[in-house]
Structure 1
């Protein structure tokens, strides 16, 4: 798409109202998880929380705007998300398909509404680097989080 200055730009950002609503929703789930640790929506350790926030931050700032606008998702961002998923699962020796193992956590809540767009609209690269992310998205979809 051409900007007024003639440069070519494919970047898209979410409208401010959407960003505010998204931030409030994430903040609500984060506070719920912190207030009620038995929900396991957020991890207990500070290091794991930082990784989770980085993951959600990259998702909301880069991947989600591309999904919503229908533009190509930056493959490097998807590879980064896949690496964080693999690291988190390995570091915490999690058993189960989700961020924190068998229970759904903040990342699944944030990503769930957009799984179909990534998996079935040809936006998820079929590469070994993105395999962990694709498997995670498929697990979210299969978990019945997404109701048509």
Structure 2
């Protein structure tokens, strides 16, 4: 019989195979702690714990998204039925899009100043229609209040 490889002698998770895998997980030179199997096992444990925490975070985010969907449904229902409270009516009202000319006039600035506000992040561009910038009504109003100190 010929000589068997370490793969055949130890199997996929044999001692030598694990040693190679652990060797790959050793810290890079210059890390504060030295190398060694103990540190590699610690790294594996830490990575496993991190994966568990990330899974929990993803599940929490899914719950948050589901709650937001329910809230949106309630707000849409309120918007359809009419609301006595003006703040809720304002929240439920759909946002309309306006072009740069309207935005500049509403804020009370010229086009150059509008471009500066966009670059500073004070007025986000929602979309482009026929190569023209479109802004949400709520963003224009928020920028106007901020720019005019209202």
TM-score by length of 2: 0.25
Structure exhibiting the larger radius of gyration computed from Cα positions: 2
Structure richer in strand, relative to its length: 2
- State the TM-score, normalizing by the size of structure 1: 0.26
